[in-house]
Structure 1
Amino acid sequence: MKATATAHPIQGLVKYHGMRDEELRLPYHDSISVCTAPSHTKTTVEFEPDASEDVFLIDGEEVDGRGRERIEKVVDHVRELADIEHPVRFESENDFPTNIGFGSSSSGFAAAARALVAATDLDMTLPEISTVARRGSSSAARAVTGAFSHLHTGLNDHDCRSERIETDLEDELRIVGAEVPAYKETEEAHREAADSHMFEARMAHIHGQIAEMRDALRAGDFDRTFELAEHDSLSLAATTMTGPAGWVYWQPRTIEVFNAVRQLREEGVPVYFSVDTGASVYVNTTADALDRVEGAVADCGVDTRVWEVGGPSKVLDSSEALF
């Protein structure tokens, strides 16, 4: 009962904020994202009948505290679905920086869910597996189905699951990641989201934003899609910054990248910024403009990485197992 899987992290385009149910991680509203490749998480799991306890390792370090609780929640759900009680050995590795706003929890729980389902021989579709991953991180549901995906809100696993959105932008999009290292606490920001006086305003417009984003993606309209994503980033930040803790994640280099993007756009370059909860920046552009955009972002004094659109989570051959 062993399997290995991989998944790509996500960039939120219309981001969810706040959870109506923290136990099942049911978000208040829908969300849409795109997976960023080649960055990925690889996870190997094995259920061991003779073991005495679960073992959880990420990047070679044993996981404890809240991180362990979140993994256990996903593992326990799969054990319940598969009707087994065996302890599990769980090892995961990321090939990109974590906790700086590049979606490591999304790829982490997506790869975990895919591997756990495969190891227990459960017959589940990707949207069904997305409900398993969602118990660890709502954004992970979208990393399961991959590429451009839409997580629908709901009060149960039938409704609150992810689906992929087909769009011609999959081939055109290039993403420059501007690394601005600054630790963030996404879970706390979600927990207090509804206490912001801006939250009701966000809820009032988010359904229209989702409809606009789906329409722009279906039409393959680059500018409309990523202008919406840029505006949603600012809306998310307004809500986060006006919560009880007053979270301010942006750093001076974050603003510098914003300004560089706006200058390029004034010069006719198709480029837009986007941020999730964190200081690092996604800079969305086209393949033709990539070199110019990456150069301008690097001139802001940040490390950069370049992504294309990543596909869904997938099970790997046994030869690629981590143990």
Structure 2
Amino acid sequence: MLKKSLLTVFILSVTIIGLLVGSSIYTLYSKKRLTVDPKLREISGIEFDKFNRLWAINDSGDEPKLYRLNEDGSIAKEILVTNAKNIDWEDMTQNKFGHFFLGDFGNNKNDRKWLTIYKIENPIDIKGDTTEAEIIKFTYPEMDGSPIQPDQRNFDLEAFVALGRHLYLFTKNRTEPFDGITKVYKVGDHAANFDAQLIDSFQTCTTMEKLCWITSAALSPDRTKLVLLDSTSIWLFENFQGDKFFSGDVSRIDLGIVTQKEAITFYDDNTIVFTDEEFKGIGGNAYVIKLDEVEKKVIRKVPKANQ
């Protein structure tokens, strides 16, 4: 009798786990729109140009190039940034004028003292297949030259947005023990050497770093919504004031199974596109969600009187 009970419990457990995994897979892949060209297997940043065509960049190891994608995910055009290097390109964003910014600021070991952002014109204004960038350099004042202690390893970076005349940088937390805090730094959007100014922070989770460290960011075209991407979620921030992104309402959108999600952008004020890197045959896709259709878990709702 005991053996039958144990077998029943085992079968029920396996069934429940299978249903949960299946549900998580469906949650992600029901949003899939295309498979990205294999040349972009480490896609790390995406952005739409003024003609609403999707551009992408690769992570470290590739040439300093932008790639325009066709609607089927194949590559339509490549643009080489002639005065750039791709040490660790991690995100791409644009300002209200349409300038693209390419973030060469990956800092896995927290040992890069000076980091780089390349500013170029909107790709529709680039006539050939090469361009030259304006170069923005920045450093963290907190990195004073002494070794970074494990509990202070929060100088890696994979996410940024442009607002006004500034760029806002969201760190990828690598602290040990993991505290789940992404810090927000601010630098100018023009060629100069900047000390990044720490202005805010937000805690995602404290469980496993690979589940909730921040890998990309985007602002809606009307600049009223901010999204931060991690391996399982989109964090949505609304009704904030100025550049106090975390001062308003906060929601979380579940993206299902864990994949290496590395890039996110807005197509319009209601439509979000995000991608994941290909790893052992999993990922390498672009996905689409509509904010007015997707389920959102409210994390914090600020009373209107306080907004």
Compute the TM-score of the two structures, normalised by the length of structure 1: 0.25
Greater Rg by CA = 2
Whichever structure has more helix as a proportion of its residues is 1
Q: TM-score, normalised by structure 2?
A: 0.26
Greater relative contact order, per chain length (Cα 8 Å cut-off, separation 6+) = 1
